[in-house]
């Protein structure tokens, strides 16, 4: 993830963005050093970093490091078609100040 964080930082550093976030879908097996990843995420000026991991993988050693306390990790159900889309929708809604509702018109909680 370090190279991706570095590229996001390079791309948006000169921009006047109200919010910059990165979302990644992974099985949680990351080879990055937690302190280096934390530093790259901070240098990129990210508003949020969200990692989506299929439920039940149990492989979050790097992401569970105390240095990465600001990275939000969400599990998602791999058997349903909407879980991943809803997670991305919550992130975009939170970043843009929008209200996300479900198909029945009920408001969904914002992403953390």
Could you tell me how far CA 49 lies from the centroid of its own chain?
4
Could you tell me how far CA 88 lies from the centroid of its own chain?
9
Per-residue model confidence (pLDDT) at position 58? 53
- The C-alpha atoms of residue 7 and residue 49 are separated, in whole angstroms, by 14
**Per-residue pLDDT tens for 69-106?**
778 787 777 776 677 888 888 888 887 888 887 777 67
**Per-residue pLDDT tens for 6-41?**
998 888 877 887 778 888 888 777 788 888 888 988
């Amino acid at each position: 993830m370090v190279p991706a964080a570095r590229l996001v930082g390079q791309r948006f550093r000169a921009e006047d963005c109200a919010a910059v976030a990165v979302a990644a879908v992974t099985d949680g097996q990351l080879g990055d050093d937690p302190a280096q990843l934390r530093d790259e995420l901070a240098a990129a000026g990210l508003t949020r970093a969200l990692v989506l991991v299929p439920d039940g993988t149990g492989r979050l050693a790097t992401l569970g490091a105390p240095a990465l306390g600001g990275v939000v990790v969400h599990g998602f159900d791999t058997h349903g078609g909407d879980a991943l889309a809803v997670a991305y929708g919550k992130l975009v809604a939170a970043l843009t100040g929008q209200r996300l509702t479900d198909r029945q018109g009920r408001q969904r909680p914002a992403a953390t």
